């Protein structure tokens, strides 16, 4: 894995519409988790606009139908990332349909939630953000391979700066629960998953990428106090989102640009396993650096990616892993 920018034609201010312009995705199949809201919804809109058939798994079909109403080429299925049985059922349906899967965007997520466990005992942020997506991607591996050149895009975050995966206690059974550390762990896991998947599946034509979309005020931040959001400079005194893409404060269109770029950019051929931001491959960020750019060592280390893969197989068993 080489974290070296390519010199993309796009940048921090680019939008998803800019990135998709000129792409013809007719005949391509895509799955976008979290596709009924925020960055996922914008990603669905752009993929469908370019002609792709887009499947959106959602916890609530009714809410998804309302959000996606009027968008052509979109199908909705029920799935709950925190419920292994639900994820397994969805994946088996896709496998049974023998559907080649060209693009898988793992955009769904939760952030800084109150302490909760899934029914297996896994901490909920780790479960919904990472383990559910791990199970989903592994379950769909044969569909991805059948595409003859597929891409997985895992939505990570600069939140990974706050900490890596605690391999001794990932589910906060011995240490006190900290919502920020739990989110950081999950976002680090998203980046390590992409690295691990790319290393294992590249020979099948499957390349994987992780993404920092930027700081965007969406429903994801609903568990954060307004005072905290304001301290980050994400909203002004009137509560309006601050849009300053060069300083990582973006609108939804700008925020969705990098994940869409990873899904379709031809210049990324041969560059899987990398962490991307502002529509380009990000630079490494030394562990001690306080500069808010790039990817930390604990989110880009192949050995840690292998450890996470082994842990994930234990916590979210799947016959396709």
Q: Which residues are known to be catalytic?
A: 183
Distance (Å, whole) CA 306 – CA 304: 5
H or E element at residue 188: helix 179-201
Q: Give the pairing type, strands 280-281 and 275-277.
A: antiparallel
Torsion of CA 284, 15, 198, 286, to 10 degrees: 10
Cα distance from N-terminal residue to C-terminal residue, the chain: 21
Closest CA to 300 of 209, 211, 195: 195
- For 50-146, where are the alpha helices, taking DSSP H only? 61-68, 84-96, 124-126, 132-139, 141-146
Three-class secondary structure of residue 75 per DSSP: strand
Q: What is the maximum alpha-carbon separation in the chain? A: 52
Residue 300 has phi, psi (to 5 degrees) of -140, 20
């Amino acid at each position: 894995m080489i974290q070296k920018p390519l010199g993309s034609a796009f940048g921090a201010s680019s939008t998803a519409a800019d990135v998709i312009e000129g792409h013809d995705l007719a005949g391509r199949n895509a799955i976008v988790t979290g596709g009924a809201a925020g960055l996922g919804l914008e990603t669905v809109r752009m993929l469908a606009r370019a002609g792709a058939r887009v499947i959106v798994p959602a916890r609530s079909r009714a809410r998804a139908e309302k959000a996606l109403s009027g968008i052509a080429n979109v199908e909705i299925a029920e799935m709950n990332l925190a419920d292994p049985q639900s994820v397994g059922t969805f994946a088996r349906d896709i496998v049974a349909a023998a559907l080649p899967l060209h693009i898988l965007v793992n955009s769904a997520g939760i952030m800084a939630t109150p302490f909760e466990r899934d029914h297996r005992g896994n901490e909920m942020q780790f479960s919904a953000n990472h383990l559910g997506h791990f199970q989903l991607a592994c379950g769909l591996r044969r569909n991805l391979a059948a595409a003859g050149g597929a891409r997985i895009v895992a939505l990570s975050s600069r939140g990974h700066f706050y900490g890596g995966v605690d391999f001794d206690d990932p589910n906060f059974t011995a240490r006190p629960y900290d919502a920020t550390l739990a989110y950081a762990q999950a976002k680090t896991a998203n980046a390590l998953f992409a690295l691990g998947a790319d290393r294992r599946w590249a020979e099948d034509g499957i390349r994987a990428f992780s993404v920092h979309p930027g700081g965007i005020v969406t429903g994801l931040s609903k568990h954060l106090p307004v005072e905290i959001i304001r301290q980050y400079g994400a909203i002004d005194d009137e509560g309006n989102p601050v849009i300053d893409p060069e300083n990582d404060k973006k609108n939804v269109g700008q925020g969705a640009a990098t994940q869409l770029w990873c899904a379709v950019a031809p210049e990324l051929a041969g560059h899987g396993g990398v962490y991307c931001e502002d529509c380009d491959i990000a630079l490494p960020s030394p562990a001690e650096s306080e500069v808010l750019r790039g990817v930390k060592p604990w989110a880009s280390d192949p050995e840690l990616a292998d450890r996470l893969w082994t842990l994930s197989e234990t916590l979210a068993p799947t016959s396709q892993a």
